[in-house]
Amino acid sequence: MSGTQAVTATPVQVPKQPTATGSRRSRRLQHDPTARSPLWVRIVLALICAAWVIPTFGLAVTSFRQEDDAQTTGWWTIFTTPANFTRLTFQNYSDVFSQANMGDAFINSLAITIPATVIPILIAAFAGYAFSFMSFPGRDLLLILIVGLLVVPTQVALVPLLKFYGTIGLNGTLPAVWLTHIGFGMPLAVYIIRNYMATLPKEVIESAKIDGASHFQTFWRLILPMSTPVLASFAIFQFLWVWNDLLNALIFAGQNTPLTVALVRLLGQEGQGWQLLTAGGLFTMIVPIVVFLSLQRYFVRGLTAGSVKG
């Protein structure tokens, strides 16, 4: 998402158990949770929610309208002339597959996103372990380097990488995109995983050591399983970030056009008609929305992961 998923190192005051959206904690601001809220609160919130949802809703409606309808009347008119409901169609989706190659783009998006999400996890987890449970000279310095790199815009790396990939013939291949996302995602991965591991009880490690377990064994048998929540939240982060990424895909993916690039091309030729654009738009966002809604809890935990103090 437009590079907005950076997480800062600043401490956040959150309750020990980061409350997900819509918690059932009883200690809310002086309001009895079972009481009805004042009418104006509900009205204002309803208006905000409507403003937030209606643009997407309009897109969704239009994606099922016939070309003539979509191009000549506002999508909202189908509610004033309900007869139009019968004119809704799936045609746009099959058109978008045949004319804009959205099907291939979908496969490319999966082919880019899955490895770029899964591969960094183990690498970052090992680094997180070393930072949390091993002491060595230069540890703090390296950690601070990583925190600093969270801020650095990845654009900084693009010109040299393009040249480098050019010389080794990697431009326009899937591995070029994977590797770039793995490299760019690494500071955030190490950072949030390390922050989580630092909150795990040190005694566990100590007793494992006394029992004769090596670091390698402790990592696999204890720390990795205990860190599942943070690994999951990083995975969701990275998945959404890579799936929605445009910049790196434009630069490195070449012929392996993912959905974002395909959609941008559609948008560049408005002559195609809004019924196609909207269908392409909705199709592009379906996977991230499903991932997000089903794993929202982990995602929120990830947002606050840097902040929960041990």
CB 72, min distance to other proteins, A: 6
For other proteins, the binding residues in 169-188 under the rule CB under 8 A are 174-175, 178-180, 182-184, 186-187
For other proteins, the binding residues in 210-229 under the rule CB under 8 A are 214-216
Neighbours of 118 (CB within 10 A): 14
Alpha carbon of residue 247 to chain centroid: 15
CA distance 280 to 68: 18
CA distance 270 to 255: 22
* Residue among 87, 98, 134, 209 that touches other proteins (CB under 8 A): 134
CB 206, min distance to other proteins, A: 15
Helix (H, G, I), strand (E, B) or coil at 210: helix
For other proteins, the binding residues in 229-248 under the rule CB under 8 A are 240, 243-244, 246-247
According to the binding rule CB under 8 A, does residue 107 interact with other proteins?
yes
CB 53, min distance to other proteins, A: 6
**195 close to 306: Cβ distance less than 8 angstroms:** yes
CB 37, min distance to other proteins, A: 4
Name every residue whose Cβ is closer than 8 Å to that of residue 20 and which is 6 or more positions away in sequence: 296, 297, 300, 301
CA distance 296 to 183: 25
* Residue among 90, 94, 98, 144 that touches other proteins (CB under 8 A): 144
* Residue among 176, 190, 192, 197 that touches other proteins (CB under 8 A): 190
CB 216, min distance to other proteins, A: 5
